[in-house]
Structure 1
Amino acid sequence: MQKLVIYNHGKDSIPWGEKTLQFADVAKHYGYAFESPDYREQLDPDKRAGQLLAMDLSGYDEIVLIGSSMGAYVATVASASIKPKGLFLLAPAFYLPGYRQTEFKPTAEEIRVFHGWRDDIVPPENAWRFCQSYRVRLNLYDTDHRMLSVMPQLSDEFSRFLAGLKGQAI
């Protein structure tokens, strides 16, 4: 069984930053291949979703999408077509000016959302609105938009998330 995790970075981030590397280590531990597309040339979130959808994913039986900020929007929009097993969203850039979609079809067996109370880029209320609308679990942390101060906790959460997809307890 071929399994893949795709990390979708945020607007001003890079494809292989600190968060990406930590999530890649967790994914590899569970037997997943790991990709992180480079979206830096494309500032339009919906065109980034198109870039994700253009990837050849035909060789994979199971896909998990991670998204941070704009990348969470991209992963959520693309999930309607990709139908991943899991959707793991960090400080999702939902309901912001310039983002075309305000109604989503988040499609995955498991969805988790993580947000910082002190996020001054995307208000935590936006994550709550999404989670309330789609009955998704919301995890709030005392951190800012980048969430780097809680990476150990997020890595643990991702490990539990992947273990749960496999039906394993850790």
Structure 2
Amino acid sequence: MTLPADAADLVCFAHGKESGPWGLKITRLADVARQQGFEVMSPDYRQTQNPDERVAMLVALRPRARRLVLAGSSMGGYVSAMACAALRPQALFLMAPALYFPGWDAEPEGIPALCSTVHGLRDDIVPAERSLRFAKTHGAELHLIDAEHTLNARIDLIAALFADLLQRVRAS
């Protein structure tokens, strides 16, 4: 994957275990990012189901920008959160992040002050309590919404929350 040359503002997405780099949520959020002047990238992690290998892949890409935003859904949320220590993004946007599972339950480090987490109250894959734990530990915003794990039924709300985060990144 080639990165935009000298991007001033870049959003790097990380897809979930069962999805791909340009699923419904990422495609919609990428449009939101582009409308606000951000470059976007969404690496393909489907060659491995190991979350820590995915973190290593993202870190190896070394996405750089004056203002870097990491965004991830489910396992991609884990990947984005765990990459923060190495990549030092200005903001982090997590959707139903698959944090604190046995075997990959390390506490993420380097979480930026601008951090927003969205989780569905009817999520039967990743319990919403995991996002609550993350938000409490890292002082992150937490939006608990009436949705299932995919959050696709609430894509308009998620897009609005993401747009708000990007506006705050641009203002910082």
User: Please, what TM-score do these two structures have when normalized by structure 1?
Assistant: 0.93
SS in 2 for 1:158: helix
SS at match of 2:97: coil
Query: Where does residue 13 of structure 1 map in the other structure?
Result: 19
Q: Which moved more, 1:6-15 or 1:126-135?
A: 126-135
The aligned residue for residue 170 of structure 2 is 166
3-state secondary structure, aligned to 2:171 = coil
1:133 aligns with 2:132: no
For 2:151 and 2:133, the matched residues in 1 are separated by 20
1:80 paired residue among 85, 88, 99: 85
Name 2:47's counterpart in structure 1: 41
In structure 2, distance between residues paired with 1:37 and 1:166: 23
1:30 has 2:36 as partner: yes
Aligned pairs, number: 166
Instruction: Specify the SS of the correspondent of 1:139.
Output: strand
Runs (5+) with no aligned partner, structure 1: none
- SS state of the match for residue 73, structure 1? helix
Match of 2:113 in 1: 109
Q: Residue 77 of structure 1: SS of its match in structure 2?
A: helix
Give 4+ residue runs of structure 1 displaced > 6 Å after superposition.
none
Mark the runs of 5 or more structure 2 residues left unpaired by the alignment: 1-6
CA distance in 2, matches of 1:24, 1:94: 23
TM-score by length of 2: 0.92
SS in 2 for 1:166: helix
RMSD of aligned Cα (Å): 1.4
Shift of 1:106: 3.8
Contact kept in structure 2, 1:84 and 1:109, CA below 8 Å:
no
Q: Please give the per-residue CA displacement for 1:19-75, whole angstroms capped at 9, x wherever unaligned.
A: 1110111110111111000001111101100000011434x2111000000000100
- Distance across 2 between alignment mates of 1:76 and 1:46: 11
